[in-house]
Chains A and B, each alone.
Chain A
Amino acid sequence: AQSVTQLGSHVSVSEGALVLLRCNYSSSVPPYLFWYVQYPNQGLQLLLKYTTGATLVKGINGFEAEFKKSETSFHLTKPSAHMSDAAEYFCAVSDRVDYQLIWGAGTKLIIKP
């Protein structure tokens, strides 16, 4: 069975600092991996996804993630945090491109001025 673990329910960084949100997954087949962002009182928005091909994936708002098969990880990074990045971030995995997503518990990103 697939599962997703997001390390840290809350991550706090200073504005301008590096953002690193961790995601590890388990899957018996090559996974499809996703990062979504949820702003307060809003639905989820896709940041980026990995299906096949290049393991470094660039998304919206300056975020990127790298698929590392050997580490079963798909960590999300952004070089310089902005106040508008404050939100909850969810990592998700699927074993087919349009199959049900299995979600992590989420990481709340807090940006300190």
Chain B
Amino acid sequence: DAGVTQSPTHLIKTRGQQVTLRCSPKSGHDTVSWYQQALGQGPQFIFQYYEEEERQRGNFPDRFSGHQFPNYSSELNVNALLLGDSALYLCASSRINTGELFFGEGSRLTVL
């Protein structure tokens, strides 16, 4: 049983560019959450998707957007990249109302 898979694992972009990160949830899970983890800090909640809709959103600007597909996989898009967007982006999946998140290994984004 595959766990949560994320791609790409590492990527480098320049300021102003756009990036798309992808996440496949653990089998049987229907909810996907995205977190940003800057170096030396705890994760910060970006948003959560359930039934293809954004269910909750953290304190992130509109440059951060997402999507969930009918197969429950998800994408995180970040437009107009800033140096401060450099971080590890973590995807977590869960079954709704269970309270246990399963995390992928993350996508490390470096913005130059």
List residues of A whose CB falls within 8 A of some B CB: 4, 32, 36, 41-46, 49, 51, 90, 92, 94, 97-106
Residues of A within 8 A of B56 (CB): 99-100
> Chain B residues with Cβ under 8 A from A41's Cβ?
105
Interface residues of B, count at CB 8 A = 26
Partner of A49, one of B42, B92, B100, B106: B100
Given the contacts A43-B90, A103-B43, A98 and B31 also touching, CB distance less than 8 Å? yes
Q: Check A103–B44 contact: CB distance below 8 A.
A: yes
The answer to the question of B68 belonging to the interface, with a C-beta cut-off of 8 Å to chain A, is no
Q: Could you count the A-B residue pairs with CB atoms below 8 Å apart for me: how many are there?
A: 56
CA of A42 to CA of B4, assembled, Å: 12
Which residue in A46, A99, A106 is a CB contact (below 8 Å) of B100? A46
- Of B4, B40, B45, B96, the residue contacting A98 (CB under 8 A) is B96
A44/B43 in contact, CB under 8 A: yes
In the docked arrangement, what's the CA distance between A51 and B98, Å? 10
Given contacts A43-B4, A90-B42, A106-B42, contact A101 B48 (CB under 8 A): no
8 closest residue pairs by CB, A with B: A103-B42, A43-B103, A97-B99, A100-B45, A44-B103, A43-B105, A105-B42, A103-B43
Contacts of B33 in A (CB 8 A): 100
Residues of B within 8 A of A98 (CB): 31, 94, 96-99
